[in-house]
Copies of this chain bind each other. A is one copy, B any other.
Amino acid sequence: MNLDDLHVDLDRLHGRLVALGKIGALPGGGVSRLALSDADRAGRDQVTAWMRDLGLAVTVDRIGNVLGIRSGEVDGPPVMMGSHIDTVKAGGIYDGNLGVLAGLEVIAVLNDLGLATKRSLAVGLFTNEEGSRFAPDMMGSAVHQGFLDLEEALAVRGIDGAEVGKELERIGYAGSEPTGSVRPHCYFELHIEQGPVLEQEGILIGAVEGVQGISWTEYLIKGVSNHAGTTPMRMRCDAGYLAAAIAVEARSIAREMGGDQVATTGLIEFKPNLVNVIPGQALITVDLRNTDEALLQAAERRLTSFVEQTADAEGLDVSARVLARFEPVSFDPSMVDLVERVARDRGFTVRRLPSGAGHDAQMFAPNCPTAMIFVPSAGGISHNPAEYTAPEQIRAGADVLLRVVLEKAMK
């Protein structure tokens, strides 16, 4: 048969998205399914039930990752699709769910046609991608791909004091399968963009080139709290001034560097935080991201040098603490090409772009050919009940996923 005649069933896929979104649904819209919560268990139960209905062989590994496998005509590593179904505390119904359920839709389309693939197919649901209850995020995929020790992960305690290992047992997802026993031939993840680029440029499909490297630094600045009226400018040790200057400089670095460099000061706190008192203490964070490690390091160096020189000049004491640091991840160029080509062949508008957020796919990228497909997020909003991607955009994304999977699974 001609692959052009294959079509995903939007009603079925969208129906599953809505049904899964009802598990842990929030009263005003959106969904709360923190990792390893009762709602996560109920969501997992639903997804594994769908996997079994589709005839997949379901395994659960020791960190709770669920894999549903459809055997191919030959032995060997499967073409894997996947993502996660845990959410932030008040999230939307799309996010990771789309990647998992679109994977199931690919299987369903093939089942409907009785179409066998040469290679096996797998759909993965990875534990605790969000990291909202347990740190670090992308926990299940990190353990699966050997970047996080299993025992260490099982011992992690969450914001509520609960332990990952015990919570896995409690919800019945402490599986027996060794982690990483199934190594994929290649890995695809469909995801909402979580940013505004596709929507603002009127583009349907993003061919994701990689994931930005992330550098989070917190600066604690100590000066001298004093009266705003009686202290001449020359006698001030104004912790608030340095904090503000860091925020302005970080943005100026990103603007001057251009490209994918971004810089954000999202958090600031002054003490005592009164109109007429010079801040004696200020806390500020800078979030720097770039797809290129050398450029990210250059941004870090420029900012560090500015902070040190300005603190010296102002007589302020600054301590810098790294809150997070991940190197950029590049996806396999031939896989990115494939996504772009397939999308274009289907007549969809497509552009290459980096992912500004972390995804399970970045754990697979160092070990197997990996790619991601983005669909637009309305208003760039995600991790929010208002998260929205239109049905036609979902259909297009799943359609691309179906075709890239078949390209890799048929050869």
Contact B227 A194 (CB under 8 A): yes
Which residues of the other chain, B, contact A261 by a CB distance below 8 angstroms?
233
Q: Identify which of A79-87, A276-284, A335-343 touches chain B.
A: A276-284
Which residues of the other chain, B, contact A227 by a CB distance below 8 angstroms?
194-195, 356-357, 380, 382-383
A241 interfacial contact with B, CB 8 Å: yes
Residue of B nearest to A381 (CB): B226
A203 interfacial contact with B, CB 8 Å: no
A270 interfacial contact with B, CB 8 Å: yes
Find A262's partner among B231, B355, B357 (CB 8 Å cutoff). Answer: B231
Q: How large is the interface on A (under 10, 10 to 19, 20 to 34, 35 or more residues)?
A: 35 or more
Copies in the complex: 2
Which residues of the other chain, B, contact A128 by a CB distance below 8 angstroms?
none
10 A-B residue pairings within 8 Å (CB atoms): A195-B226, A196-B230, A218-B275, A229-B355, A230-B356, A233-B254, A244-B245, A245-B248, A266-B273, A275-B285
Which residues of the other chain, B, contact A218 by a CB distance below 8 angstroms?
275
A71 interfacial contact with B, CB 8 Å: no
Annotate A355-366 by CB proximity to B: 1 below 8 A, 0 otherwise.
111000000000
A248-B244, A251-B241, A267-B273 are known contacts. Are A226 and B196 too (CB-CB below 8 A)?
Answer: yes
Contact B266 A274 (CB under 8 A): yes
The distance from the CB of A392 to the nearest CB of chain B, in whole angstroms, is 21
Which residues of the other chain, B, contact A228 by a CB distance below 8 angstroms?
262, 264, 266, 287, 289, 356
Contact B233 A262 (CB under 8 A): yes
Main secondary structure of the interface of A (DSSP, over half): mixed
A212 interfacial contact with B, CB 8 Å: yes
Which residues of the other chain, B, contact A216 by a CB distance below 8 angstroms?
275-276
A200 interfacial contact with B, CB 8 Å: yes
Question: In the complex, A338 Cα to B254 Cα: how many Å?
Answer: 58
Question: In the complex, A235 Cα to B216 Cα: how many Å?
Answer: 21
Contact A268 B240 (CB under 8 A): yes
Contact B266 A275 (CB under 8 A): yes
A240-B265, A240-B268, A267-B270 are known contacts. Are A357 and B229 too (CB-CB below 8 A)?
Answer: yes
Residue of B nearest to A260 (CB): B232
Contact A230 B268 (CB under 8 A): no
Which residues of the other chain, B, contact A243 by a CB distance below 8 angstroms?
244
A301 interfacial contact with B, CB 8 Å: no
